[in-house]
Amino acid sequence: MTATAELVPATRDALALLLLAMADDELVLGFSDSEWTGIAPLLEEDVAMSSLAQDELGHAQALYRLLADLVDDGRDADVIAYDRPAEGYYHARLLDHPRGDWATAIARRYLYDTADAVLAVHYAREMYSRRQESVRLWVVRRADIHDLDDPDLLQPPLDRSFKKPGGYVMRDKLAAARAQSGQAKPKAKAK
């Protein structure tokens, strides 16, 4: 039996939605970066953006493969990535804008990367605060975690509202995943 088969269905669904959102971010960002190939202001910037686009698309492919293995419903990574209507993508809305000019593209990329670092800390806190209830899946670069020396890191966050880190509306996405799977919202455990 695989580790994913041992997951509670609600946990597997939440993990699948998280992987989908992360993969969609990488796909959309990689596609946006690739639009600068051949038209960036300088040759060095052109080469750099092409390289970044390849990196992001590679990250997306790895995440879609993890998702395909997790859901194990016969679809491969390419079908999951491309066989959906536009409203079926769960990427950060920051990435939804047209290419625009070079300064806008660089600013959007900076804001996204900054939000990505904030999300790394958010996920680390969430993973450790749930302790025995969570699956310890780590998909964040070590370099993006800036708060490891924070003594509060292992303490549960005071606010469980899943606010909008990095453009995600987690509460809405979790509710949509629950509705799609036909499951009710879990009740709080008595202490």
What are the sequence ranges of the domains in the chain? 7-181
Task: Please give the structure tokens belonging to residue 149.
Answer: 């020396």
Distance, CA of 139 to CA of 25 (rounded, Å):
14
SS3 of residue 157 by DSSP: coil
- Whether residue 118 is predicted with pLDDT greater than 60 in this model: the reply is yes
pLDDT confidence band for 133 (50 / 70 / 90): very low
Distance, CA of 36 to CA of 51 (rounded, Å):
11
- Whether residue 81 is predicted with pLDDT greater than 50 in this model: the reply is yes
pLDDT computed for residue 25 by the predictor: 92
Distance, CA of 121 to CA of 153 (rounded, Å):
8
The amino acid occupying position 54 is Q
Q: Which of 6-20, 111-125, 157-171 has the lowest mean pLDDT?
A: 157-171
Query: Domain 7-181 sits in which CATH superfamily?
Result: Ferritin, core subunit, four-helix bundle (1.20.1260.10)
- Whether residue 181 is predicted with pLDDT greater than 70 in this model: the reply is yes
Which residue in 180, 181, 126 sits closest to 157, CA to CA?
A: 126
- Whether residue 159 is predicted with pLDDT greater than 60 in this model: the reply is no
- Whether residue 144 is predicted with pLDDT greater than 70 in this model: the reply is no
**Which residues are within 8 A (CB) of 190 and not within 5 positions of it... i.e. 6 or more apart?**
none
